[in-house]
Amino acid sequence: MTGASPGKKLELLSVVMPARDEGGCVASTVEHLHTELRMRSVPHEIVVVDDGSTDSTWEIVQNLQRSIPNLVPTQNPAPHGFGRAVVRGLAAMKGDAVVIMMADESDDCRDVVRYWEKLNEGYDCVFGSRFIKGGGVIDYPRIKFFLNRLANYFLKILFRIKLNDTTNAFKAYRKEVIDGCQPLIAPHFNLTVEIPLKAIVRGFTWTTIPITWRNRRTGTAKLKIKEMGSRYLFICLYVWLEKYFSAGDYRRSDRPTGDRRK
């Protein structure tokens, strides 16, 4: 596999935003994001993937397209699932870089701009962390915080990496990373660990920046922790087996690897 040369400038940023029953916040999320990217002169499209919503999400997104022409409304047919919706959005995007972002206003639009700038320094992937200096969380549920820290510590040890927020979906990739991580098999929120772990194992360059997260103010969280434990574990072991037993069959070899932070 070949990747972007260091320093190559990107032409279009795609933001893939899965949404299920987010009628109370999807409009403000898209509008704030579009405004921020336009003000910072970031060429972009916003791919909102309706994942079988039973509320007004789909109608709201379609109406938004009238005022935001670079909004791309997309529907994910059954079977539904966060991972399936993201994959649908990745297939529909036209950009040479992508940020995966939540539709519930939990992710900071300003961090999307910082992702874009960092990718343009030549990195293949940029991973945000809420748990390094400069990052932060607002109104994070205690039990979720505890399980998050436990899961990410497990991943740090299992894969021998410094990244401490692997489970967070909010990350940025060059398109060749998405192509190089195929096939993507996680149908649910476990896709949030499949893509970054595969990117690392397959030799793409990456760095980490601090990001901020705010708990949703409308709607209900879609991640059901009790349903996801075995699914996360399956994906982690799946990629771990590739790392140690594939003899480097999927690994890119044209560039240095690892975290290139200075």
Q: Are 93 and 45 in contact (CB under 8 A)?
A: yes
What are the residues facing 174 on neighbouring strands? 97
Angle at 157 between CA 152 and CA 159, to 5 degrees: 90
Q: For helices 109-119 and 26-39, what crossing angle results, to 10°?
A: 40
36 pLDDT higher than 60: yes
Residue-level pLDDT at 1: 29
Residue-level pLDDT at 221: 59
Using CA atoms, how far apart are residues 88 and 248, in angstroms rounded to an integer?
Answer: 28
CATH superfamily of 13-246: Spore Coat Polysaccharide Biosynthesis Protein SpsA; Chain A (3.90.550.10)
Q: What is the DSSP string of 82-117?
A: HHHHHHHHHHH---SEEEE--SSS-B-HHHHHHHHH
What are the residues facing 71 on neighbouring strands? 46
Torsion, CA 248, CA 254, CA 258, CA 262, rounded to 10: 170
Structure confidence by residue, pLDDT tens digits, 179-222: 999 999 999 999 999 999 999 999 999 999 999 999 877 766 55
Residue 26 vs residues 22, 55, 87, 133: alpha-carbon distances, Å: 6, 12, 19, 29
Residue extents of the structural domains in the chain: 13-246
Residue-level pLDDT at 261: 44
Q: Report the chain's C-alpha Rg in angstroms.
A: 17
Residue-level pLDDT at 223: 57
- Give the length of the chain: 262
Using CA atoms, how far apart are residues 199 and 190, in angstroms rounded to an integer?
Answer: 15
